[in-house]
Amino acid sequence: MLFLVIGLGTVTGVNVAIDKVDNLEFCISCHYIRPTIYKEYKETSHYKNRSGVRAECDDCHVPKPFIPKIISKLKASKHIYHHLIGSINTIEKFEAKRLELAQREWTRMKETDSRECRSCHNQNAMDLSLQKRRAKVVHRDAEENNETCIDCHKGITHKPLHSEKAKEVEEADDDDNFIL
């Protein structure tokens, strides 16, 4: 019984502590997030849209289930470590690593079938008849090919980063063509 009480107390305490740092204000308190990522985010439909529903950093980047949330927070602590040792402690250093960090996040989202996207967007609730023709086709094809949200929507919030990745892929394709 004592172990159960201690366990529940620990889980509750950890959840409360995580909730204190899982919010927009905490995320943008980082000196290199505010002028870069936050500025991009404010230009997206996740920030301002006709429905008034806002997705904030933690909605996309922090899993809701407890165990994945804890794992995510442990992995995220590497950002603090790298900030302290000086590898991402300036805007310039952060920007130099940003694509690599994004690719890790895209991989994580792919591996979890875009779990965080689906906490707000329910594919079964999508009415394809209300979508534009291209969106209907793409969503239908994605479902048939077992693709997930992040496969197509990498640039939904962090557009400049996605554009950089697209440019990198194009350049790689150009290099391949050159070799042939």
CATH number at residue 14: 1.10.3820
pLDDT at 176 over 50: no
Domain count for the chain, please give it: 1
d(CA 133, CA 37): 31
The runs of H, that is alpha helices, within 22-132 are: 24-27, 39-41, 57-61, 66-85, 91-111, 115-118
Q: Which domain holds residue 22?
A: 2-179
Q: What would the mean pLDDT of 170-178 be, rounded to a whole number?
A: 49
DSSP string, 148-159: -HHHH-TTTT-H
For residue range 106-155, what is the model confidence (pLDDT) as tens digits? 999 999 999 999 888 887 888 888 888 998 898 889 889 989 999 988 87
